[in-house]
Amino acid sequence: MSKKSLQTYNKFDNLPVMHIDKIELLHLRLPLVHHFETSFGRVYQQEPLIIRAYAEGFIGYGESAASANPYYSPETVHTCGHIIKDFLWPRLKNTNIISPAELPGIFGQIRGNSIAKAGVEMALWDIYAQMNRKPLCEIYGGTDRAIPAGVSLGITDTPDELIAMIGKFVNKKYKRIKIKIKPGWDVRIVAQIRDRYPELPLTADANAAYTPKDIKIFHELDKFNLMMIEQPLDENDLIYHARMQKEIKTPICLDESIKSVQDAAQAIELGSCRIINIKQARVGGYTNAKTIHDICMDNNIPVWCGGLLESGIGRLHNIALATLPNFRLPNDISESGRYYKEDIIEPAVTVTENGEIEASNSAGLGAEILTERLKRYTISETEC
């Protein structure tokens, strides 16, 4: 705890202010333990942009969970660097803020680029929590410290390979398994999994790989008691999702379609889904995520926390978010070792024998950032 931090007061209302001295952007290249394949392609490594912010004597970390390619989202690790350096940072420097909740307003003129905005907001929430000597989950208004772990498993070369992988996570007591589907890898693979695991809490994520003409496939999938089907159609197809949701009994969960508070409100009003997957990265940070969470809660739409193969830094932010009360379904948050051989935090994220992940009790993000490792995986660094 620095001496000066809480002594820096806003001269108008005596609230502690945050003045951000500088931010650094670290472009990492992290090799995955196992390649990850979705309907939009296979990746062997992840390329997040880590945001390190300095304010009030503290250091905070955030993650823009982008990748090298604009396939899941239009953003990449390079667009995140460009947007932060040339548009977000100029609006932050020489500005005193009381709370990072002001950031969506400060960044309001910049359209989209949610992954970039979320990374900066995260770093400042980490500092804000440290200044207040509280764990991030408490700052966020979290209620449960233990959150249910789920795992998202990519498309494999053979069905046997996927079924073996599922077995591994079932043995570790993960609370639900999500598989990726695409045309040609859907009804048959789900039937094979159901043969082996009739009762397993199972979901399928299409990452927008289908069109409304594929409705027959979804009538077929409807027979397998899936907990939900995630993002079957294009992200802009809210109306077609609503039509599909009327035709099938399996709940539709939206991921890519929900990029803003307005998207969430409209999807709910149209009946496009019964569940929403919230990613801070996709909606531009915690503040928007919390508003979406609250709208969903008021409309009896359960949410869960999605992931983007984050490093430990982004994952700790996701864990803190997932402690909020309407996160009522298992999350795409798994143990560090499921993603990376060496995570960049200590202690690494682990799953208890009850299939849960415990949010940390210490101030801020609640884990040490291993700066030597961080440096080892950094392929380029920019100071703002």
Report what 309 binds from Mg ion, ligand OSB, none; CB cut-off 5-8 Å by kind: ligand OSB
263 counts as binding ligand OSB under rule CB under 6 A: no
Report what 287 binds from ligand OSB, Mg ion, none; CB cut-off 5-8 Å by kind: none
> Which of 56, 126, 186, 205 is the binder for Mg ion (CB under 5 A)?
205
255 counts as binding Mg ion under rule CB under 5 A: yes
Distance in Å, CB of 247 to ligand OSB, minimum: 23
Question: Is 180 known to be catalytic?
Answer: yes
Distance in Å, CB of 114 to ligand OSB, minimum: 14
3-class DSSP state of 46: strand
314 counts as binding ligand OSB under rule CB under 6 A: no
332 counts as binding Mg ion under rule CB under 5 A: no
Count the helices and strands in the chain (H runs, E runs): 15, 18
114 counts as binding ligand OSB under rule CB under 6 A: no
> Which of 326, 334, 336, 360 is the binder for ligand OSB (CB under 6 A)?
334
Q: How far apart are CA 3 and CA 247, in angstroms?
A: 61
φ, ψ at 280 (rounded to 5°): -55, -40
> Which of 306, 312, 364, 366 is the binder for ligand OSB (CB under 6 A)?
306
Pick the stretch among 63-71, 113-121, 255-263, 372-380 that binds Mg ion (CB under 5 A): 255-263
| Residue pair 49/63 in contact by the 8 Å Cβ criterion | yes
In this structure, the strands spanning 176-180 and 49-55 are unpaired
39 counts as binding ligand OSB under rule CB under 6 A: no
| Residue pair 69/78 in contact by the 8 Å Cβ criterion | no
Is the bond into 347 cis (omega within 30 degrees of 0)? yes
Distance in Å, CB of 76 to ligand OSB, minimum: 13
How many binding residues for ligand OSB (CB under 6 A)? 11
Token pair of 73 as six digits:
């989202």
Q: How far apart are CA 235 and CA 166, in angstroms?
A: 28
| Residue pair 163/171 in contact by the 8 Å Cβ criterion | no
> Which of 152, 203, 323, 360 is the binder for ligand OSB (CB under 6 A)?
152
Taking the least distance from each CB to Mg ion, the nearer of 205 and 263 is 205
Distance in Å, CB of 367 to Mg ion, minimum: 26
340 counts as binding ligand OSB under rule CB under 6 A: no
Q: How far apart are CA 368 and CA 201, in angstroms?
A: 34
> What is the crossing angle of helices 261-270 and 238-247, to 10°?
40
Q: How far apart are CA 165 and CA 152, in angstroms?
A: 11
Alpha carbon separation from 309 to 50, 312, 330, 340 (Å, rounded): 13, 9, 16, 9
> Which of 77, 122, 166, 308 is the binder for ligand OSB (CB under 6 A)?
308
Q: How far apart are CA 234 and CA 384, in angstroms?
A: 36
Within 190-209, the residues that bind ligand OSB by CB under 6 A are: 205, 207
CA-wise closest residue to 363 among 103, 53, 143, 59: 59
Catalytic residue among 117, 175, 178, 180: 180
Q: How far apart are CA 144 and CA 354, in angstroms?
A: 15
Binding-residue pattern over the window 19 to 38 for ligand OSB, x denoting contact by CB under 6 A: --------------------
Q: Which residues are tagged catalytic?
A: 180, 279
- Note the residues at the interface with ligand OSB (CB under 6 A): 72, 152, 205, 207, 255, 306-309, 332, 334
- Note the residues at the interface with Mg ion (CB under 5 A): 205, 230, 255
